[in-house]
């Protein structure tokens, strides 16, 4: 049984669970802002810093039998001249729940929310060569370009970031 919820705020219990999800991803070597050794408290502090979510923002959460199995966040641009645009961040699926279509389902729910609140352009970035890169390409995202040596990977090398966009218009 899996359920998807689109949340516009987070309670303490959810922050704790999202913290565990972020720690799991970082321990698994994912390139999601942090380096290996991320403490639970630091991960929870990251989620608290996202609050309050900006107007029209959301975090989509996937719940399974063992708790939160995945999430993705939509951050609409704050700038008045970019009110049609939003950024996608922190697509995370717990290692216990991968390759079952959850990442794809989270992105579909996020895009549905973005459309519902009137956004027509989404952007994101990801480490070149990550499994997420393939997910975005098969999900209809277009590559805008890449930046060499943008972020440090879990193994300590500087990896390239690929910028993607998707038009919802």
Interacting residue ranges for ligand COA, rule: CB under 6 A: 25, 30, 32, 91-93, 98-104, 126, 130-132, 134-135, 138
- The residue among 56 and 90 lying less far from ligand COA, judged by its C-beta, is 90
DSSP 97: G
As measured in angstroms, the least distance from the Cβ of 132 to ligand COA is 4
- The residue among 83 and 85 lying less far from ligand COA, judged by its C-beta, is 85
Cα distances (Å, whole numbers) of residue 164 to 56, 154, 157, 167: 21, 22, 22, 10
From the list 42, 64, 65, 58, the residue with the least C-alpha distance to 10 is 58
Beta strands in 33-132, from DSSP E residues, in sequence order: 58-64, 67-76, 85-93, 121-127
Q: Say how far apart CA 26 and CA 92 lie, in whole Å.
A: 10
As measured in angstroms, the least distance from the Cβ of 65 to ligand COA is 16
Question: For ligand COA, which residue has the nearest CB?
Answer: 103
As measured in angstroms, the least distance from the Cβ of 23 to ligand COA is 12
- The residue among 77 and 108 lying less far from ligand COA, judged by its C-beta, is 108
As measured in angstroms, the least distance from the Cβ of 70 to ligand COA is 6
């Amino acid at each position: 049984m899996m359920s998807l919820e689109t949340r516009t705020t987070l309670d303490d219990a959810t922050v704790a669970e999202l913290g565990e999800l972020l720690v799991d991803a970082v321990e698994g070597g994912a390139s999601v802002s942090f380096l290996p050794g991320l403490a639970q408290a630091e991960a929870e502090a990251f989620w608290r810093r996202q609050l309050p979510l900006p107007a029209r923002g959301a975090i989509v959460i996937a719940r399974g039998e063992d708790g939160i199995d995945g999430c993705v966040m939509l951050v609409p641009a704050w700038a008045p001249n970019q009110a049609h645009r939003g950024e996608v961040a922190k697509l995370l699926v717990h290692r216990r729940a991968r390759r079952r279509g959850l990442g794809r389902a989270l992105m579909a729910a996020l895009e549905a929310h973005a459309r519902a609140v009137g956004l027509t352009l989404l952007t994101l970035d990801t480490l070149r060569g990550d499994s997420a890169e393939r997910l975005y390409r098969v999900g209809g995202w277009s590559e805008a370009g890449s930046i060499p040596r943008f972020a440090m990977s879990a193994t300590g090398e500087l990896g390239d970031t690929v910028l993607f966009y998707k038009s919802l218009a």
